[in-house]
Amino acid sequence: MSLESGSADRPDTRPRLYDNPLAIRALAHPTRLSLYLLLGRDGPITAAEAGRQLDISQALASHHLRQLAKYGFVVPAEPGDGRERPWRVASTSFGLSDVAHDPELAAAGGVLDEVLVERALANLLDWNTRRADWDPAWYELTGTGHSLVYLTREELAEFIDGMQALVAPLVERRRIGDRAARPDDAVPVDITYVVTPLPPTENGG
């Protein structure tokens, strides 16, 4: 989930790489993560609009947006109607730059991982309460899957690269805030994948 900038009014689609543990821990705050994800879905919005959608005060939304801006996750967008300035995400995806050699960054990334997985689980539970009202063709494609495979580090890296290669063109094709680029029947879909090496069993399995 990286540091180039997009244009003044559109986020960059290239991953931004962060090497500051404080930045990652700041994003792991539930309210800030909610704000970041909201901007990722709706495009540029003001603190007042974000506060209404998340049921928090404008002042609190503004505070957390400034914290996200401090670490480069969001930036001011082009002014709208001359009143309050909206915010947008700086990039549509980001990652951690040197986890293997930075224990503090790895620990911060672990905290963010847990928050993201908890949010994905909440989204799944919410979907389970709603899916009966949807076309069965949708819920046949959703939910969870599971595979246990034996991989080398190189093979796992190839798998991750392949997943990212599938998603990146879709992100580029339908940029944040560009509703005209979406088909009428397109809906926001949360894709969270969890990759965890396991300890061996007693028999070496």
Task: Write the pLDDT tens digit of every residue in 119-140.
Answer: 999 999 999 999 999 999 998 8
Q: What is the pLDDT of residue 11?
A: 59
Looking at per-residue pLDDT, the higher value among 91 and 100 belongs to 91
Q: Domain 16-144 - what CATH class?
A: mainly alpha
On the question of pLDDT at 8 being above 60, the answer is no
On the question of pLDDT at 14 being above 50, the answer is yes
Average of per-residue pLDDT values in the chain: 86
Q: What is the pLDDT of residue 5?
A: 34
The per-residue pLDDT for range 33-58, each reduced to its tens digit, is: 999 999 988 888 999 999 999 999 99
Which candidate, 52, 84, 45, places its Cα nearest to that of 68? 45
- The verdict on pTM exceeding 0.85 is no
Q: What is the pLDDT of residue 169?
A: 87
Domain ranges of the chain: 16-144
User: 52-61, 75-84, 116-125: lowest mean pLDDT where?
Assistant: 75-84
Burial track 89-107 (b if 16+ CB lie within 10 A, e otherwise): bbbbbbebeebeebeebee
Q: What is the pLDDT of residue 133?
A: 93
Question: 96 and 13 in contact (C-beta within 8 Å)?
Answer: no
Looking at per-residue pLDDT, the higher value among 134 and 8 belongs to 134
Question: 33 and 27 in contact (C-beta within 8 Å)?
Answer: yes
Q: What is the pLDDT of residue 78?
A: 76
